[in-house]
Chains A and B, each alone.
Chain A
Amino acid sequence: MDVKKYLHLDGGLLLKVINNIREIRLKRGITQVQMAQDLQITRQTINAIENNKYNPSLELALKLIKYFDLPIEELFYLDETGGD
């Protein structure tokens, strides 16, 4: 585990947020363009979220929960293994 990668500046552990949005979206046959239009965000934002490069705000996370009609733990979870 790359300790530096997961450490906050104050020394606390930073756990990465992982999501299953791509898998759920593909299972339902929704395109990134369609989803972007429905949620009024850009396709690039969806792509960044799906690739775990950007964590959505609480507002967008709640919108995603409503959009897929799934509980939060099925969409997002903390990577407590630290990526190992």
Chain B
Amino acid sequence: MLTVKKVSLLCSIVLIIAIGGFGIYEWITKEIITASTLFFLFLGIGFLFQSITWGEMDGKSEGEKDEMERHISLLSSKISYYVLLLLMIIVLITSERVTAMNDIKNIPLVIVIGLAWITMPVTEFVVSRKYR
């Protein structure tokens, strides 16, 4: 188990350093950051945290988790939802650089934020039906 964790940590760090290094090289030489670089960098960071928490790069399946681990996942899901919502709003504000809401041009992102905003209450409504 400890070996799996060490290998997972090592692979994640190697991935982050390799992709990060390539990203910095591209930024310096071509002054661009490609979508694939960003994607794989985020993937590497995700793997690193999964390795630290669960000891495996791809995390732990629900069936393998005991009740406290499931509690950790559940609590993290709720916190992640609000953090993600906040991050999307920050991205929208910084990318649009407007103060008036009607000046926003990135309508797809506004729709995504709107959908994210209603996802939780709608899901809570559906889940609450099960307990009535």
A interface residues (Cβ-Cβ under 8 A, vs B): 40-42, 44-45, 48-49, 54, 56-57, 59-60
By the criterion CB–CB under 8 Å, are B67 and A56 in contact?
A: yes
By the criterion CB–CB under 8 Å, are B66 and A42 in contact?
A: yes
B interface residues (Cβ-Cβ under 8 A, vs A): 66-69, 71
Q: B69 contacts which chain A residues (CB < 8 A)?
A: 42, 45
By the criterion CB–CB under 8 Å, are A41 and B71 in contact?
A: no
**11 additional A-B residue pairs with CB within 8 Å, beyond A40-B66, A54-B68:** A41-B66, A42-B66, A42-B68, A44-B68, A45-B66, A45-B67, A45-B68, A49-B68, A54-B71, A59-B67, A60-B67
Closest to A41 in B: B66
A19–B32 CA distance with the chains assembled, in angstroms:
57
A44–B69 CA distance with the chains assembled, in angstroms:
9
A49–B71 CA distance with the chains assembled, in angstroms:
13
18 pairs of residues in contact across A and B, judged by CB atoms under 8 Å: A41-B66, A41-B67, A41-B68, A42-B68, A42-B69, A44-B68, A45-B66, A45-B67, A45-B68, A45-B69, A48-B68, A49-B68, A54-B68, A54-B71, A56-B67, A57-B67, A59-B67, A60-B67
Q: B71 contacts which chain A residues (CB < 8 A)?
A: 54
Closest to A45 in B: B68
A56–B71 CA distance with the chains assembled, in angstroms:
10
Q: B67 contacts which chain A residues (CB < 8 A)?
A: 41, 45, 56-57, 59-60
A54–B66 CA distance with the chains assembled, in angstroms:
13
A49–B66 CA distance with the chains assembled, in angstroms:
13
A43–B50 CA distance with the chains assembled, in angstroms:
19
